[in-house]
A and B are shown apart, each in its own frame.
Chain A
């Protein structure tokens, strides 16, 4: 598998605040990667360094085996940054033509126009007059202008409505099917889960987890078993607490909850010991809640 991007022990310090702290990872061709983390986790700083907009304080970054500022790297990358802005007093078509002219093998105009999803009338309008959503569409087309192999999207769906969001991800999947590599940032676990092959979980400038959405989820989503007491014995909770893999036992909404690392093992023991409980259910915590909890726990652990 061709390595597209290699980040090696990279840190970035602003004044005395460490925004990114010794991150390392490698990205292969054709993957969709989510950089996931709460606001201020260092996602944008990391992307800016990969794009060569910021110089790492320490460490090295290689894209296609070259430093980010290399012209051949720029010719093979496209980016949609958080603030999509355009030159004023140029028509949409003129902006597209201009940016296309920067690249040796640009996408043809027809495809680009289709990518913007703009109507013929809008193409003749001044780019700065477009609505926020339309500007994002234009930003997407501009990122694609050079027919890049690697794409960066920094918070691509902020401010988009649901249908625009869905359209955006459909297009991203099309790109990945063409063998393009996509890296995007988001602070929604759901979005990363739905669209990425791999998630890099950022927290306070470090990568705290790196894996497929499934792996990340099983790490951070707390599973639980909940039961109703059949005959309330004084030591029932104590017995439940001592079941294998149970980390916590608490009452919620009239039920007794057992947080567990492995529901199968806990359930097996629960049946085997024939404790006085009924209506046994397994519970799956919500992803977003769990994600919030994880980043919160990490903060407290500091």
Chain B
């Protein structure tokens, strides 16, 4: 337990000292939020609903980003620089190392959620019932799992540059096609079709449903779960294969 605590503490310290996290996961989404709700109003329909809708878009966008990029790139860095090897020589069990990372990552997501929700209240006076706020927060936390799995998949790459390029590409493609930047309805029909099968759309849609007083669709839950399993199996398989060599 003491081991896990000190591991989490170290991971958290590293998160807060990372200027990229502060910029990409906190400031960028809030900036986008401000632009697309106050400067150009991109929504159709009721402004208050759009303000809440886009707030969820940006929160999911932020959490998806830190799950894919921070985790993936960091895993590659630690391995390529030999730190992972050093950790294997110490008595620290591998699962504590991994769990510490996951808890650190979850805390980081929680902070992003709270920060961006708070920004929504301040910028647009978004007001939702307490239960809705909490459900949205929990959905976004739990729904980050498939993206963490993508992160571990990217984490199996050899070079930090490749990992950073690939994760950036995947991240932006997922965000645009999943309707996080703009509502998916404004995309061409065939892109919408692809988008609706992507984890990002299903992730966002859960939160969009909740703010409209509905529960996330079963389809959303199942697709996210499916992706989670797929990426976990893939990254475990690749890791095993790398270890054999």
Contacts and interface: CB of A to CB of B under 8 A. Distances in A.
Contacts, number: 64
Given A74-B89, A81-B89, A101 B3 contact: yes
Contacts of A19: none
B18 A89 contact: yes
Interface residues of A, number: 30
B114 to A, nearest CB: 22
A271 interface: no
Interface in B58-107: 77-78, 81-83, 85-86, 88-93
Contacts of A142: 86
B93 A101 contact: no
A98 B82 contact: no
Contact of A94 (B7, B13, B78, B82): B13
Contacts of B236: none
Nearest to B15: A89
Contacts of A83: 81-82, 85
B189 interface: no
Contacts of A53: 85, 88-89
Contacts of B159: none
A79 B81 CA distance: 16
A88 B91 contact: no
A84 interface: yes
B83 A102 contact: no
Contacts of A85: 81-83, 86
Contact of A79 (B6, B14, B89): B89
Interface residues of B, number: 23
B92 A102 contact: yes
B10 interface: yes
A103 interface: yes
Interface in A42-57: 51-53
A75 B89 CA distance: 9
B90 A74 contact: yes
B17 interface: yes
Interface in A158-186: none
A90 B86 CA distance: 16
A31 interface: no
B82 A74 contact: no
Contact of B2 (A51, A75, A101): A101
Interface in B86-140: 86, 88-93
A210 interface: no
Interface of A: 14, 51-53, 71, 74-75, 77-79, 81-90, 94, 97-99, 101-103, 126, 142, 146
